[in-house]
Amino acid sequence: MRKVIGLLKDYPSLATVVLAAGVALHWLLYDTVSLFPDVAGRMANFNQSWSVYLGFAGIVAIIAGFAGVIAVFALGSPSASFSRLRYRGGDRLGANWLSPIAASLAAALGSALCALIALSGYGLLAWWLFEFLFVLSAISALRLVWLFKRLIGVVGEDDRAAEEREPKRPSLAEVRQRDAG
């Protein structure tokens, strides 16, 4: 199981394929095992769905921007710790940095497309596309949090190294004791 999770972490495109297969399976089994059997029917009505699709597009666009800021911060940092991270991470790290940005932008554009598809009378198609985009965004957000946690560790490593390089400054109590004696 750890190997499978490792593959899904290292290869975001593989995770997307597995996700697409899961949504396709849910679509095929929708009439028999759907957890929410009435949702797709209600979402097929454009009057109820367009605001959900467009609202979600705005949310994932914000996530994409946040992911981009994190990537620029990590890619542009001149610190030795970030340099080591980039070197050791190689292509897999690049794929993991790009994945949340690309998935969030795709979900934002796709959600806007869902509103247009629903407007054109194909509400169920819009709903299934939206389900895929929603789950893709959720997994992308989890990947972003995982990356952010790793980056916080690298920043902590940098801070510890900087603290060790600096000469130790005496505390206020030590200064007072020295001056008093």
**pLDDT, tens only, 103-119:** 999 999 999 999 999 88
Largest CA distance in the chain: 87
In a domain, 178, yes or no: no
Indicate the average pLDDT of the chain. 80
Query: Considering its fold, how many domains does the chain have in total?
Result: 1
23 occurs within a structural domain: no
Residue 76 lies in a domain: yes
Within-domain flag for 105: yes
Domain holding 146, by residue range, is: 42-166
Tens of pLDDT, residue by residue over 43-69, are 666 667 888 899 999 999 988 888 888
pTM, rounded to two decimals? 0.69
Is 143 contained in some domain? yes
Better-scored residue on pLDDT, 76 or 106: 106
Whether 134 is in a domain gets the answer yes
Provide the sign of the torsion angle of the four alpha carbons 58, 66, 19, 135, taken in this order.
negative
Cα–Cα distance between 36 and 57 in angstroms, integer?
22
- 21-45 average pLDDT score: 66
Q: Write down the residue that tokens 């593989």 correspond to.
A: 14
